[in-house]
Amino acid sequence: MPTDDRALDLQANGCRVTCHVGPSHDLYHLSKVLSGLGELAAAGSVKLRLEPIRGAAESSPQCASLYASIEGISAVFDVYDASNHFEIDLLEHCNIYFKRSFFPTDLQLLPAELRAKIVPFGLNYACRSATAEPLLLASGINTVMSRYQETRTISEFEQSPDAPVLQSIVFQTRAWAPDSTGDNVEEVNESRAGIIRALRKNFPRKFAGGFVFSPYAQQRYPDLISTYPSQESAYCGLCKNQLIGVSTRGLHRSVPFKIPEYMATSLAIVSEPLRNELPVPFISGRDFLEFHTSEECVEQCERILSRHSLAEALREASWRYYESEVRPAMHIANLLKRSLGHVT
């Protein structure tokens, strides 16, 4: 789908943006930022300059934060899962710091002068822009582009809320092996396992999903392995056939990529509580249905399946939020405008 014209009113002559990208950057997690910037540049709304960082970068390996200069205003895009992780050196030297996992309690760990710089980034997911990719490749950062190019294009996720779908539910997820992350994987895995079991039991002909195959998932949850494809392109197609998308908390209680992916596909969302703050609230009971237990998850899915008007309203809510706050060009344009208006 084309870039939304509402995202293009930054400055008459194009907003000047310079980003520094190097081998240590995690361009999978940062792909949405680069896609949004690239689309704005292709539309003439942004004058984008990507400066390659040669050799070893100063930031940590697989750094998920990106430094940018926006009309001389220094900004950081931090898309880490963990709400208590901050790139302190960048935070100390920037004007505004966009934090994906924005949890006010964890901001209290910081001095007041640093807290004042931090604002919510919003929702993140991995995607690439067919429009922007040639610009990114031409910038000289092609040596670190492979992770970016592994992602699906923006348009592959998108589907309008009036598209016909099956009266069914999707929840396909990962089981994390012990020591694979700093989070409590047992808690995460067991919660997901309970939800998969409940959905399979209560909706035997209306549920698509399970754990994606991995050696650990096969050993720990052999009865819960999904029979559906897990390749990204096939998974996008699977989601587009469903009415309801179920989501649990992400690692470190982040909002998982599933939520914005479901929004782009106009699914009716049933989710565990979204702990972290967003620039614009996505409200339980209006925009999505919330659950705390597997039993509540089943009940919320039953509500949607039995009430056509509710299903339509939730699909519209997902798409509406996606168009205004999540689609990459619009999302990044919103952040650029906030940078230009930010006073520290």
Provide the token pair at 149. 């190019």
- If one compares 130 and 146, the residue with the highest pLDDT of the two is 130
Q: Which residues pair with 217 in a beta bridge?
A: none
Provide the token pair at 42. 């292709």
Query: Phi and psi dihedrals of 172, rounded to 5?
Result: -115, 125
- What pLDDT does residue 142 have? 65
Q: Does pTM top 0.75 for this prediction?
A: yes
pLDDT category of residue 52 using cuts at 50, 70 and 90: confident
Residue 55 pLDDT greater than 90, yes or no:
no
- What pLDDT does residue 4 have? 43
Distance CA 209, CA 313 (A): 24
Distance CA 169, CA 167 (A): 7
- If one compares 150 and 259, the residue with the highest pLDDT of the two is 259
Residues with Cβ within 8 Å of 68's Cβ and at least 6 positions away in sequence, in order, are 17, 18, 19, 20, 74, 75, 76, 77
- What pLDDT does residue 78 have? 98
Whose CA is closest to 243, among 327, 322, 321, 162? 162
Percent of the chain at pLDDT exceeding 70 = 92
pLDDT category of residue 139 using cuts at 50, 70 and 90: confident
Mean pLDDT of 221-246: 95
Mean pLDDT of 190-197: 98
Query: What digits encode the pLDDT tens for the residues 66-104?
Result: 999 999 999 999 999 999 999 999 999 999 999 999 999
Show me where the domains of the chain are located: 7-150+328-340, 157-325
pLDDT category of residue 118 using cuts at 50, 70 and 90: very high
Residues with Cβ within 8 Å of 224's Cβ and at least 6 positions away in sequence, in order, are 193, 196, 197, 210, 211, 217
Which CATH superfamily groups domain 157-325? Answer: Glycogen Phosphorylase B; (3.40.50.2000)
Mean pLDDT of 279-298: 98
Q: Residue 218: count other Cβ atoms within 10 Å of its Cβ.
A: 13
Residue 344 pLDDT greater than 90, yes or no:
no
3-state SS string for the chain:
CCCCHHHHCCCCCCEEEEEEECCCECCCCCHHHHHHHHHHHHCCCEEEEEEECCCCCCCCCCECEEEEEECCEEEEEECCCCCCCCCHHHHHHCCEEEECCECHHHHCCCCHHHHCCEEECCCCCCCECCCCHHHHHHCCCHHHCHHHHCCCEHHHHCCCCCCCCCCCEEEEECCCCCCCCCCCHHHHHHHHHHHHHHHHHHCCCCEEEEECCCHHHHHHCHHHECCCCCCHHHHHHHHHCCCEEEECCCHHHCCCCHHHHHHHCCCEEEECCCCCECCCCCCECCCEEECCCHHHHHHHHHHHHHCHHHHHHHHHHHHHHHHHHHCHHHHHHHHHHHHHCCCC
- What pLDDT does residue 53 have? 77
Identity of the residue numbered 86:
F
